[in-house]
Structure 1
Amino acid sequence: MEFESALFVVKWWKRAPFLRIIAPLVAGITLQLYIPVNPVWYITAACCCMAGVSAFRFLPLQWRFAAAWLPGILCSLLICCCGGLLLYNADIRHSKDFYDRYLVDTPFYLLRINEPPQEKPRSFKTTAQVIAVCKEDEWLPVKGCLLLYTGKDSLLPALHYGDELIARKRPEFIKFSGNPGAFNYQQYMVTQQVYQQVYLGQADFYLLPYNRGHPVRRLLLQARDYCLYNLKKYIGNGPEAGMAEALLIGYRQDLDRDVVQSYSNTGIVHVIAISGMHLALLYSTLLWLLQWLPAHSWMHVTKAVIILVVLWGFALLTGASASVLRSAVMFTGITVGRFVLHRYSSIYNTLAASATILLCFNPYLVVDAGFQLSYLAVLSILLFYQPIYRLFEWKRRWADWLWQMTAVSLAAQLITTPVSLFYFHQFPNYFLPANLIAVPLSTLIIYGEVILLLLSPLGKPAVWLGSALKYMIFGMNSCIRWIGELPGAVIRDIHCSLAQTVLLYLLIAVLALWLLVRFRPGLWMGLLCIWGFLIARVSWVTACKRQCSIIIYNVPAYTAIDCIKGNLVQFAGNDSVWQLPVAQQLLNTRANLRAHAGTPASFQQYGRFLSFEGKRILIIDSALPGLAPPEKFKTNYILLTRNPPVNIRQLCDFYAFDTLIFAASNSARRIEKWKSDCDTLGMQYYSIGDQGAFILTCR
């Protein structure tokens, strides 16, 4: 039985050669991402691998037979090196034409708007490509993108896709708040190849009188605007229209936050994000519409061209997210194989090939959550749908159809759960009924929206269909909201470290081998994974019980301090912080540290003075008294917050301290003055706005 299982795995492995490529490629990209290596080492290692493979054929036959595994290892190492080089070359900061190299000597640079600006509460946000910089009265072509913000001023000209402007304000690097529970926006933008941002006021730029956007991109934006206009016209401007826009073309700017939260609580956010489901619906519809064409070789090529044009046009129209690109590449391979080459390959090989192509195009996709979830969901369905579906047999057609949907939902959830716990720290208990409601309804709504766009010139029929779609979307949202508000709908604050995530995937893999191909050691290996997971969990719980730290959060305009000992945490600062969105970061930090509100025995607070575990912090947010005391007040740290008019030399006359801490609530100009004074006096300081949240371990 074990021999048959091994034979099955070997045959399955040989039918999917791209599986042998994708693993070392991902390993090389990940290595370079977290442990950067000079490309010379990659090139040297790659040359050695190629030399080893070439020399292997000249070895004696018995040696080649004994070391038959060696060429495979060398080829895997070669692919791993290629992955590292791919990521290194993708980083535009390594290019000699990166714009930041030229902005040292000049403040003038030429920008081109990459996408329509999005309206924010206090500004408009977009990305812009840096086309050229002015150096010594000469414009030099450069490369790179940056985040562009403009104020909501009626005197400012409106910006559109393709507009070009000359800016003279130097951009700043995107910073990470450093708060332990915060999303690392800086690292996310690095994966988008955007490293800097700039806020332009009326006097900071000049809009040029021409537009040089790409005509295809402009055409896609016009098509998107046409869809948005008609959906709002016939469905309305409420949350139903926002949901309709998200379902059809992935436009999420008009989505209601409460609706998104309901879909998140039920684990079906994939329904309102353009994903592989939308491409599958489009692909199946195209096949049905084109089935009347005659079965000739040239007509097969015509079918393939039509399908690929429509698929990729839709992918680009919706923004080309990772999941959409995955589906587009997969269906491209299937279409070419079916209609052009007349060959069918292993679906696992097609899946791995699409991932390889996308990573070669953009290696930063390897850390994209959407990319990971999309591929894991498809792989999970391919592996586990049939075994789950065969557990029960239903004679009635409607019951069998319902069980098929249930099996698909269960299969998709199986492999995506560990990475979802790692990223989102919650598990939706009612994902199954939510999927059974939302997936068929959203499918029907999507088809209805397509028909609505076709009927939009006719008037009355479009009005009737728009009303019907509005009530369907309202009903779907109401059902999902009701499910999301049921008791126990979501298990929140689940801690799942990287090690635990890896152990969960090993557990799923070995148990799947044991159940599906009768791999006997899989059961014992699964028990070892469970023990490893429990050990990691106990280690984390023990570390949380022994923790003792002070966290001064990076919160602009506010003071927020957590004193944590064991599982107790005491807050000090402005209570109004809890009414802001940043409060979620504080709650995430506490959940990650297993800390709940309570006063540790060593915590003491007297006005602006804090004492915790032998560490003293004095908070200064106003001017100092006129006369210095006869004896200096001793403290370990002084926190300057909310722009106090304090002179550093004067501060030394009042207090004896070790380190100055500058809160993010101070103005940049004042912080720079304080830092300059500290450098002159040789004093230690920490700037939260520049360096992130201040975390002090008390033991």
Structure 2
Amino acid sequence: MEFESTLFVVMCWKRAPFLRIIVPLVAGIILQLYTPLYPALYFALAGSCIAAVLAFRYLPLQWRFTAAWLPGTFIFILICCCGGLLLHKADLRHSKGFYGYSSTNDTPLYLLRINEPPQETPRSFKTIAQVVAVHRLGEWMPVKGYLLLYTGKDSGSQVLRYGDELIVRKRPETVKFNGNPGAFDYQQFLVRQQVYQQLYLRPQDFYRLPNNRGQPVQQLLLQAKEYCLSNLKKYIGNGPEAGMAEALLIGYRQDLDREVVRSYSNTGIVHVIAISGMHLAMLYGTLLWLLQWLPVHRWINITKAVIVLLVLWGFALLTGASASVLRSAVMFTGITIGRFILYRHSSIYNTLAASATMLLCFNPYLVADAGFQLSYLAVLGILLFYQPVYQLLQCKYRWADWLWQMISVSLAAQISTTPVSLFYFHQFPNYFLPANLLAVPLSTLIIYGEVILLFIAPFGGAAVWLGKTLKYLIFLMNSCVGWIGELPGALIRNIHCSLAQTLLLYLLIAGLALWLLVKFRPGLWTGLFCTWAFLIVRVHRIMICRQQCSLIVYNVPAYTAIDCVKGNNVQFAGNDSVWQLPVAQQLLNARSDLRVQTGSIATFQRYGRFLSFQGKKLLIIDSMLPRRLPPEKFRTNYILLTCNPPVSIHRVSDFYTFDTLILATSNSSWRIRKWKSECEMMRIRYYSIGEQGAFVLKLR
């Protein structure tokens, strides 16, 4: 039995050749992502592997038979090298035409092109701009690169459109990570989008050229999106129902209500309001049903394939081409070509691996995209576990069988996506099954209704009634999901799963699956080993948290926020009003990451603007210093300058003796520059939170 199960696994592996490519390709990309290597090393290693494979053919037959595994190993390493080179090549900073290498000491002129419609934020408009050229040495030099562009609401940005070109005389700034413990690394997120710098523009900083340089296809897609949005708002309204309708149909999330998003997140069905593979599967099935009346003929089948592919890719581009949508589009493209043009049906596992390989070759940064990971893991889980779960229960009635099928799909997808979800989101929705059973059918009905609404929108009367019906259906779905999300025990929060624990969970799932599904006994031992390893990692992390001791000055604009952490307890020092603001979530995330809760610490003492912790003293200066000098300087370890105090470093040094000066982000940029210049002249050690991130002092 064990031999048969091993043979089954080997046969499945051989029938999906792209599986043997995607594994080393992903390994090479991840290696380059976290431990960057020089391209010369990859080329040398790849050349050695090619030479070794060629030389292997000339070895004696006996040696080739004994070491038959060697060529496969060399090819594995070769593909790993290709993955690393792909990621290195994808980084525009390694390109000779990158705009960052074209600037001079003077502030240059940049020619920018708006790459997407500006989005409104509370204080500004935000968009991505392509850097087309830089004016240097009296001429325009073509360059590559993208910027995160902000324009104030009083700077005419409300009239900016996709394709507009701007001439800008302002030096871009590097996007910085705030450095708060447990915070989302927005800098790395933008790097993976090929955006490395940002630019804040005022009216006098730019000039808009009269001609629009947008691509015609993209202009057409934007017009189609605008048609959808305007008609949905016209017939459904401007409330939360319209925002949900926009998200369901075309993935437009700007008008989504925050409470609605929180409800869907708490119930584990946020995939419903994000354009995913489910939407493309519905579209693909609908297209096949609409085209089934056409006769079977080679040229007609080619026409079918062209129609299906045009609609699929048009919808994918219309919705923003997220990772999950691209995955589905590539998969259905392969299936369509095989079915209607080549008349072949390949292994679904091979198609899945082939689509991932193509997308990673196009954009290797997708390997670190949560949507990309969850999308492929969900499909893989359904392929592997749906049938075994479905066969656990036999239902006599059709409605019961249909219900059990939906439950089986949800369970299969949840098995494969739970470890990654815990790693990224640190929570588990207990009621994901009833929420899925309610939201998926309703959302499917709503999506089809919206498509019909857009077709009949020019006729008015029927569209009004259909719009009202859809509004009530969306209201019903939102209300039911909100009610499920508020039930007791709906969500388990603060689940911390490290990268090592996530990998161990997947090894555990793989081992148990091999043991239960194909009777592969080593899978059981693998699962038991991973369980023990997981517990050891967990206990180790708990012991580290119990022994931690640190002082943290958070990177919070306009406010002072300090945490003193010892073991599992934390005490706060700073502006209490910060807890009433949205930025308080960053502090809560940090405490969750550190596994601490508010409690008394014996070594913590606070006297006004002075605090002492574990033998270290911190003085907070947020106002003007006294006019008279003290008879003796006060000794402290750290001084925090916050809330823009009108002081000079010379004056501070007259009052205090200190080791390090900490400059908070609540100070104005010009004052921080002035203080830094004074510190450098006086050779005083300083730490700028705005540039270096949150100040974290380890005291143990």
Shorter-chain TM-score bucket reads over 0.9
1:624 and 2:619 matched: no
Question: 2:228 aligned with 1:244, yes or no?
Answer: no
The aligned residue for residue 14 of structure 2 is 14
* 3-state DSSP of counterpart to 1:591: helix
Cross-structure match for 2:278: 277
State whether structure 2 residue 350 is matched by structure 1 residue 362.
no
Q: Which amino acid aligns with 1:342?
A: Y
1:544 aligns with 2:562: no
Structure 2 counterpart SS, 1:624 = coil
Deviation at residue 537 of structure 1 after TM alignment: 0.8
Q: Check if 1:103 corresponds to 2:112.
A: no
* Counterpart Cα distance in 2 of 1:112 and 1:648: 43
Instruction: Report the counterpart of residue 119 of structure 2 in structure 1.
Output: 118
1:379, 1:522 → 2: CA distance? 18
**Equivalents in 2 of 1:199, 1:674: separation in Å?**
23
For the residues of structure 1 that align with 2:362 and 2:279, how far apart are their CA atoms? 23
CA contact (8 A) 1:493 1:588 kept: no
- How far apart, CA to CA, are the structure 1 residues paired with 2:653 and 2:446? 69
Deviation at 1:156, TM superposition (A): 5.6
TM-score norm. by structure 1 comes to 0.99
Equivalence for 2:73? 73
Q: Match for 1:152: what amino acid?
A: K
Deviation of 1:104 after TM superposition, in Å, equals 2.8
Equivalent residue number for residue 331 of structure 1: 332
User: How much does 1:155 deviate?
Assistant: 5.4
Q: Which amino acid aligns with 2:446?
A: I
Task: Give the corresponding residue for 1:501.
Answer: 502
**1:157 CA drift (Å):** 6.3
What residue is the counterpart of 2:307 in the other structure?
306
Is the 8 Å Cα contact of residues 125 and 157 (structure 2) preserved in structure 1? no
Instruction: Give matches, 1:192-591, under 5 Å.
Output: 192-591=193-592
Report the 3-state secondary structure (helix = DSSP H, G, I; strand = E; otherwise coil) of the residue aligned with 2:690: helix
- Between the aligned partners of 1:10 and 1:528, the Cα distance in structure 2 is 23
- Report the equivalent of 1:147: 148
Distance in 1, matches of 2:531 and 2:311, equals: 47
Normalising by structure 2, we get a TM-score of: 0.99
Task: Tell me the amino acid that sits aligned with residue 18 of structure 1.
Answer: F
* Partner AA of 1:25 in structure 2: L
- For 2:675 and 2:344, the matched residues in 1 are separated by 70
User: CA 1:76/1:673 → structure 2, altered by over 3 Å: closer, same or farther?
Assistant: same
Query: % of aligned pairs identical?
Result: 75
Deviation at 1:521, TM superposition (A): 2.1
SS of equivalent residue, structure 2 residue 181:
coil
Distance in 2 (alpha carbons) for counterparts of 1:462 and 1:536: 58
**Structure 2 gap ranges (5+):** none
1:64 counterpart residue number: 64
Task: Output the CA distance in 2 between the equivalents of 1:104 and 1:657.
Answer: 39
- Report how far residue 680 of structure 1 moved: 1.5
CA distance in 2, matches of 1:104, 1:175: 22
CA–CA distance in structure 1, aligned partners of residues 526 and 229 of structure 2: 53
Q: 3-state DSSP class of the match of 1:572?
A: strand
Contact 1:181 1:587 in 2 (8 A): no
Work out whether residues 623 and 645 of structure 2, in 8 Å CA contact, stay in contact via their aligned partners in 1: yes
Q: Secondary structure at the match of 1:674?
A: helix
2:26 aligned partner:
26
CA contact (8 A) 1:620 1:639 kept: yes
CA distance in 1, matches of 2:457, 2:631: 83
CA distance in 1, matches of 2:50, 2:299: 42
Q: Is the 8 A contact 1:619 1:641 kept in 2?
A: yes
Residue 177 in structure 1 maps to residue 194 in structure 2: no
- Alpha-carbon deviation of 1:169? 1.3
Given residue 483 of structure 1, which amino acid in structure 2 is its aligned partner?
I
Shift of 1:653: 1.4
Q: Secondary structure at the match of 1:153?
A: coil
Task: Give me the whole-angstrom Cα distance separating, in 2, the residues matched to 1:206 and 1:697.
Answer: 49
Equivalent residue of 1:304, what SS?
helix
Report if aligned partners of 2:268, 2:429 keep a CA contact under 8 Å in 1.
yes
The separation in 2 between residues aligned to 1:179 and 1:439, in whole angstroms, is 37
The letter for the 1-side match of 2:47 is C
Equivalence for 2:51: 51
- Which consecutive unaligned segments of at least 5 residues does structure 1 have? none
Inter-partner Cα distance in structure 2 for 1:116 and 1:566: 48
- Deviation of the 1:181 alpha carbon: 2.2
Find the aligned partners of 2:526 and 2:517 in 1 and give their Cα distance.
Answer: 15
Per-residue CA deviations over 1:610-642 (Å, capped at 9, x if unaligned) read: 000001000001111112112110010000101
Q: Residue 427 of structure 2 aligns to which amino acid in structure 1? A: Q
Deviations 1:273-304 (A, max 9, x none): 00000000000000001111110111111111
- Note the alpha carbon deviations across 1:126-179, whole angstroms, 9 max, x for none: 111011111122111111110111111175661000001101111101011000
Q: Aligned equivalents of 1:395 and 1:279: distance in 2? A: 31
Cα distance in 2 for residues equivalent to 1:87 and 1:100: 19
Which residue identity does 1:609 align to in structure 2? F
Q: Does 1:35 align with 2:32?
A: no
Shift of 1:681: 1.5
- SS state of the match for residue 445, structure 1? helix
> Take 1:506 and 1:196, find their aligned partners in 2: how far apart are those partners?
39
Q: Shift in Å at residue 648 of structure 1?
A: 1.1
Matched residue of 1:661: which SS?
strand
**Post-superposition offset of 1:520:** 1.2
Query: Deviation digits for residues 47-91 of structure 1, max 9, x if unmatched?
Result: 000001111111100000000000000001000000000000000
Cα distance in structure 1, aligned partners of 2:22 and 2:526? 25
How many equivalent residue pairs? 699
User: How far apart are 1:120 and its partner, in Å?
Assistant: 0.5
Q: Counterpart in 2 of 1:663?
A: 664
How far apart, in 1, do the equivalents of 2:417 and 2:156 lie? Answer: 49
Q: Secondary structure in 1 aligned to 2:159?
A: coil
Aligned 8 A contact 1:174 1:197 in 2: yes
Q: Secondary structure at the match of 1:97?
A: coil
- Within-5 A mapping of 1:626-645: 626-645=627-646
- Deviation of residue 103 (structure 1)? 2.3
Distance 1:75 1:529 in 2: 29
Structure 1 range deviating more: 54-63 or 645-654: 645-654
Letter in 1 for 2:312: L
Distance 1:40 1:93 in 2: 17
CA distance in 2, matches of 1:81, 1:104: 35
